[in-house]
Each structure stands twice: as C-alpha cells, then as structure tokens.
C-alpha cells in the first residue's frame, strides 16, 4: 500500500496512474532513469542508469518515488516529466499530461473563485485595508 506522499505541485494521482498504465515496464524504467538526470538535456548514459532501476518496482511506484524525492519531482511542476517524455519519443503522453494538468488547474481555479475566492484571508478587517 502506498502511503501519504508529497508530490509535484500540479500532477494528481489519477494523472500518475494514467501515465503508469500507458507505459510498458521497460519504458517506465527508462523514463525513471531519465528523470534522475538533473540537467535539461539527458547528460549521462541512460542505459547504465536504467539497469540500476529495480525490475520488480511497479511503474506507479517509480513515478511516485521520483515525484516525492527532494531535488527531483518534489515541489516541481509537471514540466520536467513532460520534457522527459518528449525526449523519449512519447510526445502523445507529454501533450496529454500538459493539457490535462492545465485543464485541472483551470477547473480548480474556477471552483475556488466561485466558492471562496479569497479563502481565509477574506475577513472584514483584511478587506477594509484594501478598500478605496
């Protein structure tokens, strides 16, 4: 069972599951190996790094591990994952991820604007400070 994980700031669990289900185990290990490289362009031997990725680790677990690791996906946006997918010739998944993330962000923003646009900051005192 997967525990609570702090992940990238804009990819949700359903999106990670979709990606994991869309990749073969080999493709997923290669993606994970590519995500290990902190450089914009893949700067090391991907085959060597890929051989270090556990064969028995499910794709979703690999993606969540990357996503929750400081210096990798933790606190980052979907952009690095989309970039690596493109580099590995998975343009379709990269486009799907980017489009889906932005669509979900738009839904979340719309919901927040309709239901509580200023959140807990919207007190009479805080609003009076900015009134004309």
Span 70-101, pLDDT tens digits: 888 888 888 999 999 999 999 999 999 999 88
* DSSP-based three-state secondary structure for 126: helix
CA distances to 16, 67, 68, 97 from 82, rounded to whole Å, are 12, 13, 17, 7
CA distances to 69, 71, 96 from 103, rounded to whole Å, are 25, 26, 10
- Work out the average pLDDT over 49-59: 94
Other CB atoms within a 10 A radius of the CB of residue 15 amount to 19
Alpha carbons 85 and 79: distance in angstroms, whole number: 10
pTM score: 0.76
Contacts of 45 (CB under 8 A, 6+ apart): none
């Amino acid at each position: 069972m997967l525990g609570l994980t702090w992940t990238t700031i804009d990819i949700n669990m359903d999106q990670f599951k979709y990606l994991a289900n869309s990749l073969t185990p080999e493709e997923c290990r290669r993606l994970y190996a590519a995500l290990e490289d902190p450089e914009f362009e893949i700067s090391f031997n991907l085959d060597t790094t890929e051989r270090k990725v556990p064969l028995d680790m499910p794709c979703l677990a690999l993606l969540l591990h990357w996503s929750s690791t400081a210096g990798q996906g933790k606190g980052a946006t979907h952009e690095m994952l989309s970039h690596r997918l493109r580099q590995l010739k998975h343009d379709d998944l990269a486009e799907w991820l980017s489009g889906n993330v932005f669509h979900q962000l738009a839904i979340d923003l719309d919901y927040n604007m309709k239901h509580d646009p200023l959140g807990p900051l919207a007190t009479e005192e805080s609003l009076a400070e900015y009134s004309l």
